[in-house]
Structure 1
Amino acid sequence: MPNFTLRLLWSVCLLFLWSAASAQVSTPKYSNEFLHVGVGARALGMGNVQAALADDATAGYWNPAGLLRLQNRYNIGLMHSELFAGIAKNDFASFAMPLDSSSALAVSVIRLGVDDIADTRRLQNEFGYIQYDSIRFFSVADYAMLVSYARKSNLIPGLQLGANAKIIYRNVGEFANAWGFGIDAGAQLQRGNWQFGLMAKDITTTFTAWTHNVEALEEAYLQTGNDLPQNTAELTLPRVVLGVGKSFRFNDKFTALLATDIDFTFDGKRNVLLKSDVVSVDPHVGLELAYANTVFVRGGFNNYQETKNFDGGYTKRMQPNFGVGFKSYGFHVDLAMSRVSDSESNSISSINTSSVIVSLGYSFN
């Protein structure tokens, strides 16, 4: 793994130098933000609190160090969710396995996309008549593949370390596409009933190079008086997540797990709880109640927002999340409801802004 990581780092550096010479390089806010939506109904039902808790096939996404806590030899995780009233589809699949008593490996794939978008550029023919059969459809989708590796530390007992090498592909029909590369690193430590986690995403500043199909865009852009887009390169700045959790046992059957994650971003001022031009701090909290380690009820709060009203005042809100789960004989199914609107929202928009997430998992020896 160290040799692989070193070679990948050199590849990223060489690609950056080559693209920087031929394309405009920028560090936009919210770059590759599809990688921060979250995966797994357990995590999404707890407000995306997983840096210290991840211990299944989704750990490759949340914190690869958690792969060392896999209970079985082979672990499979699947998720499907629909956002914005089903307009966007978010899918995830992962396979994880321990290599030996001190190391583990996982491969994960993520897709977030909007399909069947109508391309009406040729709707009107040269005689001015509408031709509906000329409408074509395309997709806008973001993909990521994560190869995760975890290993126990030889220096500190109980310390687990992990890393992700990720490849990103983003596509806008025939009009544009992008390739990106980056590396994440994580750590977990358990002391009694306490769990601690650290996840550093995009520690090498993930590099994404965009290529535009000018021939496909030229006619439409010239007709509307817009400048043709140029090939560009984005750098995604690092994000650090600190997590801590504590488990409680009430009796032989009932247990609870309370945890919080704190996200630190460095790409400019965001609309979060604590913000500045240098760093923005976004906390979220989650709770999981379990009966016989079989039935689970979860809740959490995240996505703090402060919006300005028409009267000049401000409204502060946090997004509530709710979830349930069932686990037996290596099989587990989880459901979560996220993006729940508050009572002040219109009833129609309340339905449309809620998302149901379904995830399945199976582990066996």
Structure 2
Amino acid sequence: MQKKMKNYLLILSILLFMSSQLTAQTGDAGQPGEFLRYGVGGRALGMGHAFTGLADDASTIYYNPAGLMNVPRKEFTSMYTNLFLDSRYTYAAVALPRTFVGPHNAVGLGWVNLGMTGFDQRSDNNISEGSFDFYQQAFLLSGAREFVSTWGVLNYGLNLKIINQAFPGYSSDTGNSGWGFGADLGATFRPINFPLFRLGVFEDFFTLRRIMPLQIGVSLQNVLPPRVGIGSGEKDPYPFVLRFGASYSLLFGNWRANIVYDHERFKDRKAGNFMGAEALVPSPFQGFYPSLRAGYNSRTKAPSFGGGVKLDYLTNAAIRIDFAYTLKPHEALDNDFRLFLAVDFGQHYDHAYFYDRALRGETERQQLAAHLQVITRYPNDNVPTSAELLGTELDTTNAVHYFRLIGGLRLANKYYYQAIEALKRNRIAAAKSEAKKAIDEYTSAITGGREITENEYMNFAECLIIDEQYAQASDLYLPRVTTPSLRRHYLAGVCYRYQNKWSEAAREFESAVEAGQQDSKSMRALSFLGLGQARMQLAEYNKAINAFETVTRHYYANLHPDYPRYPAYADDADRNIHNIADDAQFWIAECYERSGEKLKARNAYAKINRFYPFSTRLEAANDKVTTLLKD
């Protein structure tokens, strides 16, 4: 019985010793499973243990299993370091994304080990009975899956872990090994057209270029808590750990940077905040890709630094060597320096891979998902094609967001159509806002040397008209449209009318009505009306009356639903009556009045009441009739 008690005391003392040493490293009281809290991965440790939201290499098995879907290539990674005294800490893992289990799944295997060797075992009489070792280890089997939608890319994953504690070489009737089983859950989300970013004023600020570099991650460790012990003693469960964070990627010329932040909470431990950054330095020569890292760990209250280099000289593999250095985390411990080795191999799961999948996609859903994956890897050569296909065919609801990503004429034309649609709904301020955006894009395309069709020049001119930049439209851009057309002459006539250049307006409106084209969107009817206005302002009253009477005789029906609304002719918005015959009749009467033919003027005004009772000019016409009767 005495020997059995000594066995328990020995085991307990070793466990307490190792836990206390790890406590010194992490700055808090030791708990079951503390060896799984020390951290792995050169990139993560170099950034202050922040990795849950970035999660894109083989160490993600340790931090967040969902990140397996983010690993850009099959990868093996390893780490071996001395922590304190003769303890050794080891990590090895292999990540296999989009392999064996399909293109939307990933698997991984990991192993974490903390051990000490050379303990002297003695009998009750203090006689040496040889030596024994001690270790704690975890075997991690990870799986992940992705779900891609227009909202974003959601990855979710699961860790199944087997925990083992053992004293190999130690002879005891209580046994020298114990086992336990547990599970972790994880998720990452990269937003694309997430509704939260499409609300009101947010929509203009949160462009795809600004939100796609963001990734959010969460890890729920020990959802199924392992219970590990040796012998028949009490087996405490590993504590539940909530860890969440985010990462954001930035481009500075040829430099790429990742900013990361993690927050961690679990029982009997103060909250931890971990933050860091990583800079991917432009390669000084081909195949050599250096990186620099720095971070801060609030638990140890110490900064960390790191770096590495990727050597891409092999035919189908690349070697990455990383290091991480943490300043003295505790006064009883030395500064911590670790080296890491990783090997990437096999297929690159980059934008070219997903673009190829999009081309081979059998269903529209498969094509949509693949093209969305292409644009989340912005910038790359396939983004323009993928964004255009998304905006024109696969996800037209969010077309403007895809076109904003690539700029150019697709975006300009989309803004143009949105401005026209806003005018149809009598949302003048919104129409001007969209027109201004279109103007910026058209201007950028022109200054950038993009080829612009005559129809797009006319779209540009319409946006300038909506924004009341009439001289710009008539003097700079409409002259570039060399093919005569009803639309081209009508737009020019509108510009001159608003500039009070009545002779030029009359010339353009006359050319419009003589174009002999089909009256698309009621522009020929509006051209007759504009011609009459111009002739009236030039005091050519008979010619003006002829133009107006053409409208009352031939264009008395409602205007085309898509007629150009500058201005709008809405006589009864509730009944959707948009008519210009009443306006023409009113101006016929005004022409007679100006030319001194008061009787004809009175009769012409009276026709408004008789034939156009819905007219917005009815009250003014009745007042005119009353005044002329008095005269």
Do the structures match in fold with TM over 0.5?
A: yes
Look up the match of 2:80.
80
1:171 to partner: Cα distance: 1.3
Question: Cα gap change, 1:209/1:364 in structure 2, threshold over 3 Å: closer, same or farther?
Answer: closer
Mapped partners of 1:119, 1:319: distance in 2: 38
Question: For 1:128-277, what aligned pairs fall within 5 Å after superposition?
Answer: 134=128, 136-153=130-147, 157-173=152-168, 174=170, 176-191=176-191, 192-204=212-224, 206-212=225-231, 230-252=232-254, 254-265=255-266, 267-268=267-268, 270=269, 272=270
Counterpart residue number, 2:310: 327
Q: How far apart, CA to CA, are the structure 2 residues paired with 1:341 and 1:234?
A: 27
The equivalent of 2:341 in structure 1 is 360
Structure 1 residues 114, 236: closer, same or farther in 2, change over 3 A? same
Q: Is the 8 A contact 1:82 1:356 kept in 2?
A: no
Match of 1:4 in 2: none
- Following superposition, the deviation at residue 341 of structure 1 comes to 4.9
Cα deviation for residue 338 of structure 1 reads 2.5
Alpha-carbon offset, residue 177 of structure 1: 2.5
Query: 1:298 maps to which residue?
Result: 293
Contact 1:320/1:340 (8 A) holds in 2:
no
C-alpha distance 31-363 of structure 1, shift in aligned 2 (>3 A): same
Paired amino acid for 2:304 = N
What's the secondary structure of 2:58's corresponding residue? coil
Mind listing any 5+ residue stretches in structure 2 that lack a counterpart?
1-28, 192-211, 284-288, 313-317, 347-631
Q: How many angstroms does 1:359 deviate by?
A: 1.0
Give 1:124 deviation, angstroms: 4.0
Q: Which runs of 5+ in 1 are unaligned?
A: 1-27, 126-133, 213-229, 273-280, 306-317
1:287 corresponding residue in structure 2: 277
Which deviations, in whole Å up to 9, do the C-alpha atoms of 1:180-226 show, x marking residues without a partner? 1111000011231211100000112x1324233xxxxxxxxxxxxxx
- Higher-helix-fraction structure: 2
CA deviation after TM superposition for structure 1 residue 331, in Å: 1.2
Distance in 2 between residues matched to 1:209 and 1:158, nearest whole Å: 37
State how far apart, in whole Å, the 1-side matches of 2:259 and 2:220 are: 22
CA distance 1:303–1:139, shift in 2 (3 Å): farther
Cross-structure match for 2:420: none
Letter paired with 2:65: P
Q: Alpha carbons of 1:113 and 1:153: their partners in 2 closer, same or farther (altered >3 Å)? A: same
Report what 2:43 is aligned to: 42
Q: Deviations over 1:104-145 (max 9, x none)?
A: 0001111111111223447745xxxxxxxx362221111110
Cα contact 1:168–1:179 (8 A) shared by 2? yes
Q: Structure 1's 123 and 302: CA in aligned 2 closer, same or farther, altered over 3 A?
A: farther
Name the CA distance, whole Å, in 1 between partners of 2:215 and 2:113. Answer: 30
SS at match of 1:208: coil
**Aligned equivalents of 1:296, 1:151: Cα separation in 2:** 29
Q: Deviations for 1:247-297, whole angstroms, at most 9, x for unmatched residues?
A: 221112x222111100010x22x2x3xxxxxxxx21111111220372111
**Matched-pair contact (CA < 8 Å) for 1:82–1:355:** no
Query: Which structure has greater strand proportion?
Result: 1
Secondary structure in structure 2 of the residue aligned to 1:44: helix
The superposition leaves residues 145-173 of structure 1 with CA deviations (integer Å, 9 ceiling, x where unpaired) of 00000001266530111110000001134
- Specify the code of the residue in structure 1 equivalent to 2:136: D
Which amino acid letter does the alignment assign opposite residue 226 of structure 2?
Answer: F
Q: Residues 322 and 337 of structure 1 are in contact (CA less than 8 Å); yes or no, is this contact kept in structure 2?
A: yes
CA distance in 1, matches of 2:274, 2:80: 23
CA RMSD of aligned residues (A): 2.2
| Alignment of structure 1 residues 17-96 onto 2, 5 Å | 30-72=31-73, 74-84=74-84, 86-96=85-95
Greater C-alpha radius of gyration: 2
1:78 aligned partner, one-letter code:
S
| Alpha-carbon distance between aligned partners in 1 of 2:131 and 2:298, rounded to the nearest angstrom | 33
> What letter matches 1:196 in structure 2?
I
Q: How far is 1:178 from its partner?
A: 1.8
Is the alpha carbon distance of 1:292 and 1:148 closer, same or farther for their aligned partners in structure 2, counting shifts above 3 Å? same
Which of these residues, 118, 121, 132, is aligned with residue 120 of structure 2? Answer: 118
Is the CA contact 1:243–1:260 (under 8 Å) kept in the aligned structure 2? yes
1:340 Cα deviation from its structure 2 partner: 2.2
Distance 1:65 1:357 in 2: 26
1:200 touches 1:238 (CA, 8 Å); kept in 2? yes
- Give 1:179 shift: 0.8
Partners of 1:124 and 1:203 in 2: CA distance? 45
CA contact (8 A) 2:165 2:228 kept: no
Q: Give the CA deviation at 1:240.
A: 0.7
SS at match of 2:230: strand
Percent identity, please: 27
Question: Residue by residue, what CA displacement relative to the aligned partner does 1:48-96 show, whole Å, maximum 9, x if unpaired?
Answer: 1110112111111111111112222x32111112112x52111111112
Residues 121 and 130, structure 2, Cα contact 8 Å, conserved in 1: yes
Change in CA separation of 1:32 and 1:291 when aligned onto 2, cut-off 3 Å: same
- Counterpart of 1:298 in 2: which secondary structure? strand
- For the 8 Å contact 2:48–2:295, the answer to whether it is kept is yes
Residue identity matched to 1:49: A
Note if contact 1:323-1:336 (Cα within 8 Å) is conserved in structure 2: yes
Q: Distance in 2 between matches of 1:195 and 1:362?
A: 25
SS of alignment partner, residue 235 of structure 2? strand
State the one-letter code of the partner of 1:322: F
Tell me if the contact between 2:165 and 2:230 (Cα under 8 Å) persists in the aligned partners.
no
* Contact 2:164-2:228 at 8 Å conserved across structures: no
Does residue 106 (structure 1) correspond to residue 108 (structure 2)? The answer is yes
Question: How many angstroms does 1:237 deviate by?
Answer: 2.6
Instruction: Give the Cα separation in 1 of the matches to 2:146 and 2:215.
Output: 15
Query: What is the total number of aligned residue pairs between the two structures?
Result: 279
TM-score normalised to structure 2 length: 0.42
